[in-house]
Amino acid sequence: MSVHNVKAIVFDTFGTISDWRSSIAREAQIVAKSKGLNDFDGDAFARAWRAGYRPGMAPVISGEREWTPIDTIHRERLDEILPQFGLDMLDEAERDRLNRAWHRINPWPDSIPGLLRLKKKFLIAPLSNGSLTLLASMAKRAGIPWDFVFSSDMHKAYKRDPRVYQNAIALLGMAPGEVMMGAAHNDDLEAARAEGMRTAYINRPTEYGPDQVKDFEATSDWDIIVDDVEGIADVMGC
């Protein structure tokens, strides 16, 4: 089997390991309640915030904009949507605190059990667009047992820029086929496969809720196709 040589497994984080939508909705709902908003829709707020994520990274990936950390991209979108949701009264400290809700998002229920199994046999790490402090804080708070962290600021690039995958492989000092990418997003796996990495698709059809338009299923013959992180551990014999 092609995954026999795998020594390290790196994971997309937002959506694959962590359920950003329910976590952001919950934190936003608490803030809205503290401001006396009674008809605030936390889930819609989370989705609206997230809708600025790819457009926010796009000019960085294309080279039109210089390297910009993910906290800045999150914050720009936050400032943009707060008025629409009746939260434009938030002051600087409140906005900063809410922006860091992305440092506190919770894992899906299967993520930690699956990672604990995989960790016994493989080096495991995020290969995420998050910043180092975001990813390390999230893992520490939730108990995600990474062996180390790859963050976007280490590469000064965002996925799907090929340099992210190339740099991860180089830092590991491994052959591309010894590294597996786990993700709930087919285009992330396409980019990983293009660099010679092994691929594991984890189906997360509820990630975006009513806004989900793709990634309801694997669209290619990825090395592993499963419904959760424990499924990867099953296939890998952990």
Which amino acid is residue 223, in one-letter code? Answer: D
Instruction: State which residue, 24 or 172, has the beta carbon closest to a second copy.
Output: 172
How far is CA 189 from each of CA 128, 133, 184, rounded to the nearest angstrom?
13, 25, 8
Instruction: State which residue, 148 or 216, has the beta carbon closest to a second copy.
Output: 148
Instruction: State which residue, 48 or 138, has the beta carbon closest to a second copy.
Output: 138
Task: Name which of residues 146 to 205 contact a second copy (CB under 8 A).
Answer: 146-149, 151, 153-154, 170-174
Minimum CB separation of residue 186 from a second copy in Å reads 28
Residue whose tokens read 């329910």: 22
Name the one range near a second copy by CB under 8 A: 20-28, 38-46, 124-132, 229-237.
Answer: 124-132
Minimum CB separation of residue 6 from a second copy in Å reads 14
Instruction: State which residue, 149 or 226, has the beta carbon closest to a second copy.
Output: 149
User: Interface with a second copy includes 123 (CB under 8 A)?
Assistant: yes
Residues 6+ apart with CB under 8 A from 106: 18, 19, 22, 23, 142
Task: Name which of residues 130 to 149 contact a second copy (CB under 8 A).
Answer: 131-133, 135-137, 139-140, 146-149
Provide the 10 A C-beta neighbour count for residue 211.
14
Query: How many residues sit close enough to a second copy to count as binding (CB under 8 A)?
Result: 25
Judge contact between 73 and 53, C-beta under 8 A: yes
Minimum CB separation of residue 152 from a second copy in Å reads 10
Question: Which of 114, 108, 127, 146 minimizes the C-alpha distance to 236?
Answer: 114
Judge contact between 208 and 50, C-beta under 8 A: yes
Question: Which of 21, 20, 40, 19 minimizes the C-alpha distance to 29?
Answer: 40
Residues that bind a second copy (CB under 8 A): 69, 71, 119, 123, 125, 131-133, 135-137, 139-140, 146-149, 151, 153-154, 170-174
